[in-house]
Amino acid sequence: MTAYYEQLPVYRQSLDLTVWTEEAVRSFPRYHKYTIGSELRNTSREITLLVAAANTKKNRKEILLRARNKIEELKLLIRVCMELKIFRSFRSYEHAIRQIAGIARQTEGWLNRSS
């Protein structure tokens, strides 16, 4: 049985970002893998869970606002990783930022429709 949220483009994109994050953190140096890497992994999972939860609630505004805050937190973490040159390449950073921007855009649209 497929959950309703699995059909949402924002859910699929956030799940893709979560999977990508898990794979990216695997290649981090040991020190960063267990510090900022853990934060990246947890935050990306939280965003996916919030998107899924928002789809099941009638009053989703509060959940979407929490998701927006988590998205901003993830942007900051990704930026810190880029500044510290933790990613293998600049392309990794670009990919992450593009994914996050797409998720942010979709959640904002959803939030505007929910108001």
The pLDDT, as a whole number, for residue 72 is: 97
What whole-number distance in Å separates Cα of residue 67 and Cα of residue 63? 6
pLDDT, residue 57, reads 78
Mean pLDDT of the chain: 92
Amino acid 3: pLDDT: 62
CATH number of the CATH domain containing 31 = 1.20.1440.60
pLDDT in tens, 30-84: 999 999 999 999 999 999 999 999 988 778 999 999 999 999 999 999 999 999 9
**Per-residue buried b or exposed e for 76-113, using 16+ beta carbons within 10 Å of the residue's own CB:** ebbeebbeeebbeeeebbebbeebbebbbebbeebbee
- Contact assessment for residue 21 and residue 44, using Cβ atoms and an 8 Å cutoff: yes
Q: How many structural domains are present in the chain?
A: 1
Q: Which domain holds residue 93?
A: 4-114
| pLDDT at residue 25 is higher than 70 | yes
